[in-house]
Amino acid sequence: MSQFETYAQTQIPQQDRSKPNQNQLLGTLNLSSGQNEKNIDQNEFVPRRSSQTNNYGYQQNTLQVSPYPQFNYPLMGQQTMKEQENLEQMQRLMKENETLRYQWRTLEQENQKLKNENNQLINREKNNSTEIQGLQDQILQLKNENKRLMNTISDDQYQLLDLQKLKKQVELNKGLDNQISDLEQQLSIANKQLSEQKRQNSFQENEIQTQKDTIDKFKTQLKELTQNNESQVQKNDTLLNDNRKMKQALDMINKDLINEQEQNKVLFQKMNQLNQGSKDQINNLQKNITNLNFQNEQLKNQLIILQQKEKELQNVQNLNLQNESKLRQMQQQISEQQRQIDQYTMTIQTGKNEYQKLAVKTQSQEQDIWKLKEQLNQLNTQNQMLQNKCYQLERSIDDSLSKSQIQSADLKGSLDKWKNYGLSLEQEIKKREMALHQLENEYVHIQSLLKGAQENEVQLRNERAVTLSKMKEMHDDLLLYEKKCNQQDGELTLLQEQSRNILQNQERLEQDKLQLNNEVKKLMEELLRTQNQNDLKNRDYDALQMKHESDNNMKEREVQNLQLQNNILQEKNIQLENDLTKEKEKIFQMESRIRNLESEIHNLQFKQTLQQQYSWNQEPLNNHNNQIQQTENSLIYQRINQNNSGFMNPQQNNYGFQKPQQPKPTENSNAPYQVDEFPDHRRTNSQQLIKSKNYDLRFQYQPQNVQP
């Protein structure tokens, strides 16, 4: 608050400060409330009401009273030089006062503008500070995000190391799993081999028991034969003569036997041809099995595609069931044929007994019968081999059927192939049935031949023991050979399975390697992406920091400029306040001069009144001069009052606080200020005024709303 404002505020009484709407003048008249106004004499002292706005923007009714009594004294004479000089000085002073007031108002307006600009700058500083705080918060957030990203990157690196460790462990576990699976396969194979060996051992034990029974029977038979031989030796001595007689007949029989041997050779050739055909069939079947295995491998690759077609393959399963039923029927037929073969072997054994009875008679033909017996044994061994091969073929067929059942559940596209294959199998089965039928016919024919040969086997009784021992040795050798072959086949199958497992493991390892390489590539790509993102974020962060620093520098420069402007404005305000104080002092000096001049004027007027009392008749002569002087004096007095009112107006002087802008009233805001006390030289009683027709109205006319 400036000194002028403090001084102006001290001019207001405390009651007016606390009660801004209270009237400060006494003797107010209620002329605006609808009452009838009285007729007032022109020479009377009459207060007049005027409305003006107070400090709070409300209208306030005030009385405007002419501060001086209105006299109409006659002039004593013309004005002197001093009075003219005084008037000229008064006019000059008034003009200077008006110029000073105008300058003072302009300075106040500039001061208000500067204050508003200062407030705006303060608000800008506040906004800039808030923006700076927001940017600092953003910087902190970006720093926190950068830290978080760096932490995530470090965590990702640790996780990558953990992943690599886990991958190594997975590879080790896969190797262990492969080893475990290999061991499990080996265990399953060993269990299968054990079960097969147990089954074979049980089968061999049964065979050994049957062989022991046959050996016991043969021993009893040999004992009986030895006894019979001893009895027959005696008989033979008696029969030698008969035999000699019978030689001629036997020669004829030998010729017949030679013919029969030739026929037997032809039969053996046919049997060899049949064996070769069976071998060719077996080779074809093996080729078919290899083809089937190849097809199975191809079909395994098609399993993934044909999983959705399980419903349509139920018909194939039904057909397979029908084929299985047919195969079971075939197996039953084969079992019946085996029973028939067993019966035939029993009949052969009975024939052998008959041979033993006829051996005495056919000693001369034992060598030929031995050859036939060897051939028969070969045929029996071949039949056994064929039976074993048929059994193996049946097992292979069963295995292929089981595989086909497993595969048929997942295969539809290969229905036509399987149907064709089933038809080919049926044709092959029919061919085999025809071959078996032919073999049965040939077997019957051979049995008929054997019956003829059994009659000749009786003569070969002595040589049979040697042949039996040799046959046992051969049988043992064959059993050992079969065992070795089975072991070699098992080893081959194991090696094949191991090779397949190794290939599968290699393929799995290659797939795992590819997957791991792909995963490593993906992880490296992700790392590169994260690094690129971090680089971009770091670049953005650096750019933001640069922008923020540049903005901060600009804002700091603006703040410095604003501070400089504020300092300049403060200096200007201080200078203006100093100028205002100086001008106020000048104004006070001028007012003191004006008061002195007014006192002199009043003294002059008092003298003039005295002169008028003695010169009543001289007034018409000086009417014209009076009027001129009246107008000049009234204008001077009006200007003085207006300047005083402008100086003391609280609406123009804000007294240190800003008043809200209110709408301007109809009356001028520069109305004269309310007068608290009447001057000493003014007369309050209107009756004491001098009344006359030629009353001087110099000070009666007082405009209320005149702007300077």
What three-state secondary structure class fits 412? coil
Token code pair at residue 669? 């805001």
Token code pair at residue 204? 């061999």
216-239: pLDDT as tens digits: 776 677 677 667 667 766 765 666
In this structure, of 414-423, 522-531, 611-620, the range with the lowest mean pLDDT score is 611-620
- Phi, then psi, of 39 in degrees rounded to 5: -75, 120
pLDDT at 472: 72
Q: State how far the Cα of 20 lies from the Cα of 657, in Å rounded to an integer.
A: 15
- Give the closest residue to 186 by CA, choosing from 485, 490, 504: 490
* Residue 390 contacts residue 341 (beta carbons within 8 Å): no
* Residue 670 contacts residue 638 (beta carbons within 8 Å): no
pLDDT at 414: 59
449-481: pLDDT as tens digits: 767 666 766 666 667 667 667 767 777 776 776
Q: Is the pLDDT of residue 359 over 70?
A: no
Q: Is the pLDDT of residue 423 over 80?
A: no
State percent of the chain over pLDDT 90. Answer: 0
Q: Measured on CA atoms in the order 475, 478, 484, 485, is the torsion positive or negative?
A: negative
pLDDT at 625: 54
Compute CA 267 distance to the chain's CA centroid, rounded to the nearest angstrom.
86
- Give the closest residue to 124 by CA, choosing from 134, 132, 113, 135: 132
What three-state secondary structure class fits 50? strand
Judge whether 439 lies within some domain.
no
Query: What residue numbers bound the domain in which 655 lies?
Result: 1-69+644-689+702-708
Q: Is the pLDDT of residue 120 over 80?
A: yes
Judge whether 244 lies within some domain.
no
Higher pLDDT, 383 or 9: 383
- Give the closest residue to 338 by CA, choosing from 376, 381, 391: 391
43-85: pLDDT as tens digits: 444 444 445 555 455 454 444 444 444 444 444 444 578 788 8
Amino acid at 501: N
Query: SS3 letters for 630-692?
Result: HHHHHHHHHHHHHHHHHHHCCCCCCCCCCCCCCCCCCCCCCCCCCCCCCCCCCCCCHHHCCCC
Q: State how far the Cα of 444 lies from the Cα of 75, in Å rounded to an integer.
A: 193
Judge whether 20 lies within some domain.
yes
26-44: pLDDT as tens digits: 444 444 444 444 444 444 4
Q: Angle at Cα 193 formed by Cα 192 and Cα 194, nearest 5°?
A: 90
Under the banding of pLDDT at 50, 70 and 90, the label for residue 595 is confident
Judge whether 54 lies within some domain.
yes
Q: Span 500-511, mean pLDDT? A: 78
Other CB atoms within 10 Å distance of the CB of residue 623:
12
Interacting residues of 470 by C-beta distance below 8 A, sequence separation 6+:
none
Domain count, the chain: 1
pLDDT at 607: 74
Under the banding of pLDDT at 50, 70 and 90, the label for residue 16 is very low
Token code pair at residue 227? 């006894």
pTM metric for this prediction = 0.19
The neighbouring-strand residues paired with 457 are none
308-348: pLDDT as tens digits: 655 665 666 676 677 666 667 766 766 676 676 677 667 66
Other CB atoms within 10 Å distance of the CB of residue 299:
21
Higher pLDDT, 411 or 106: 106
Q: Angle at Cα 596 formed by Cα 688 and Cα 71, nearest 5°?
A: 25
Judge whether 682 lies within some domain.
yes
* Residue 355 contacts residue 454 (beta carbons within 8 Å): yes
In this structure, of 135-144, 293-302, 582-591, 624-633, the range with the lowest mean pLDDT score is 624-633
Q: Span 271-275, mean pLDDT? A: 68
Judge whether 568 lies within some domain.
no
Q: Span 492-508, mean pLDDT? A: 77
Q: Is the pLDDT of residue 696 over 60?
A: no
What three-state secondary structure class fits 702? coil
DSSP track, 561-594? HHHHHHHHHHHHHHHHHHHHHHHHHHHHHHHHHH
Q: Measured on CA atoms in the order 193, 198, 204, 206, is the torsion positive or negative?
A: negative
647-687: pLDDT as tens digits: 444 444 444 444 444 444 443 444 444 444 444 444 444 44
Q: Is the pLDDT of residue 86 over 80?
A: yes
- Give the closest residue to 620 by CA, choosing from 693, 544, 519: 693
Under the banding of pLDDT at 50, 70 and 90, the label for residue 139 is confident
Under the banding of pLDDT at 50, 70 and 90, the label for residue 123 is confident
Compute CA 279 distance to the chain's CA centroid, rounded to the nearest angstrom.
68
* Residue 288 contacts residue 391 (beta carbons within 8 Å): no
- Give the closest residue to 485 by CA, choosing from 192, 200, 295: 200
Q: Mutual orientation of helices 366-408 and 314-358 as an angle, nearest 10°?
A: 170
Under the banding of pLDDT at 50, 70 and 90, the label for residue 279 is low
Q: Mutual orientation of helices 415-457 and 366-408 as an angle, nearest 10°?
A: 160
Q: Angle at Cα 541 formed by Cα 540 and Cα 545, nearest 5°?
A: 115
- Round the CA-based radius of gyration of the chain to a whole number and report it: 75
Judge whether 371 lies within some domain.
no
What three-state secondary structure class fits 57? coil
Query: SS3 letters for 490-511?
Result: HHHHHHHHHHHHHHHHHHHHHH
pLDDT at 416: 67
Q: State how far the Cα of 139 lies from the Cα of 143, in Å rounded to an integer.
A: 6
Q: Span 483-487, mean pLDDT? A: 75
DSSP state of 231: H
Other CB atoms within 10 Å distance of the CB of residue 406:
11
Q: State how far the Cα of 603 lies from the Cα of 605, in Å rounded to an integer.
A: 5
When the pLDDT of each residue in the chain is averaged and rounded to a whole number, the result is: 66
Q: Span 598-603, mean pLDDT? A: 80
Q: Span 389-401, mean pLDDT? A: 68
Judge whether 683 lies within some domain.
yes
* Residue 630 contacts residue 696 (beta carbons within 8 Å): yes
Amino acid at 608: Q
Under the banding of pLDDT at 50, 70 and 90, the label for residue 248 is low
Higher pLDDT, 388 or 617: 388
pLDDT at 699: 43
Token code pair at residue 41? 């004499």
